[in-house]
Amino acid sequence: DIQMTQSPSSLSASVGDRVTITCRASQSISTYLNWYQQKPGRAPKLLISAASSLQSGVPSRFSGSGSGTDFTLTINSLQPEDFAAFYCQQTYDTPQTFGQGTKVEVK
């Protein structure tokens, strides 16, 4: 299985901060990488697919980049509604696998 490792596992930030979450794959996955946001008690929500393609309706402060093994999710100017857990997912190979998650908390 392809292992997906996110860092950090958690971070504390303030409204208006720029936040960067990284995801590293155990082997090259091209750009077969998605990002999800999950709020407590809710289903995950797709933010970004194919490493950098923003989903319709997702605010432009979210952006994704990377290819191969190293990927980044960036949130510019963190908003109150952005405090949540974020997961990366690879779909390059079966089984598709998720990172362990990054929790963005209020500082």
Partner 1 sequence: QLQLQESGPGLVKPSETLSLTCTVSGGSISSSSYYWGWIRQPPGKGLEWIGSIYYSGTTYYNPSLKSRVTISVDTSKSQFSLKLSSVTAADTAVYYCARHSSGLYSAFDMWGQGTTVTVSS
Contact 64, 70 (CB under 8 A): no
Is residue 33 within 8 Å of 27, Cβ to Cβ?
Answer: no
- Supply 85's token pair: 């857990």
Q: How far is the CB of 24 from partner 1 (least distance, A)?
A: 15
Instruction: Report which secondary-structure segment, H or E, holds 26.
Output: none
Minimum distance from residue 88 beta carbon to partner 1 (Å): 10
Tell me the closest approach of the beta carbon of residue 32 to partner 1, in angstroms. 6
Query: Quick one: 6 or 78, whose CB is closer to partner 1?
Result: 6
Residues binding partner 1 (CB under 8 A): 1, 31-32, 34, 36, 42-46, 49-50, 53, 55, 87, 89, 91, 94-101
